[in-house]
Amino acid sequence: MRPLRISAAALLASPVLALTAPVAVADSVTAPGVLGGPVASFGFSVTPSSAAPGATITLRATGCAARPTAGASALFATAPLTVADGPGQSAKVTLPAGARPGTRYDITFTCGNEQGTTPLTVIPPSTPATTVRTSLGSGLSGPDAAEVILGAGLVGTAGVLIFRRARTHP
């Protein structure tokens, strides 16, 4: 009987532990690249690495003694990077409305005689969350991912407990 209680407690705790576990999110790409030459010795990034048309992205270069530039002829003209907040030099660029969602563009960074590229993926514009208006003056919206995971874990746990109880009590 005791192993049943321990396993039930473990099953009940698992959704909570899953919700509190750290989650890694990749919003930027920092990678030396190659554009017809040697690997670049300076660092560069595009943040975020996926953005919708009309969004503002940040281009950043580090470890460049010269004045770096970045550009993607299909998206925007070459932009000079200047000293700003954070490490290195940066520039903010707004993606044009004509950028095609689902397309990967290579952003080319130049530092003196060195060049490197990093990808930027254009994603579809996000749609606003739908809210159901209630007569109580507020709205109800759908569950977020954490609520769905927690609900699924609780339902699964209840099913396992019912199954085990039915098996032990004929």
pLDDT digit string, tens, across residues 102-145: 999 999 999 988 999 999 999 998 766 555 555 555 555 567 77
The Cα–Cα gap between 75 and 106 comes to 10
Per-residue DSSP letters for 12-52?
HHHHHHHHHS-------EE----SSSSPPSSEEEEESSEE-
The Cα–Cα gap between 29 and 26 comes to 8
User: Residue 101 carries which side chain, given as an amino acid letter?
Assistant: P
Question: Burial level of 154, CB count in 10 A (0-12/13-18/19+)?
Answer: middle
pLDDT (tens digit per residue) in 131-142: 555 555 555 556
Helix, strand, or coil (residue 11)? helix
Strand-pairing partners, residue 133, are: 139
Q: What is the pTM of this model?
A: 0.51
The pLDDT score that the predictor gives to residue 57 is 92
pLDDT (tens digit per residue) in 46-102: 999 899 999 999 999 998 888 899 988 888 888 888 886 667 888 999 999 888 899
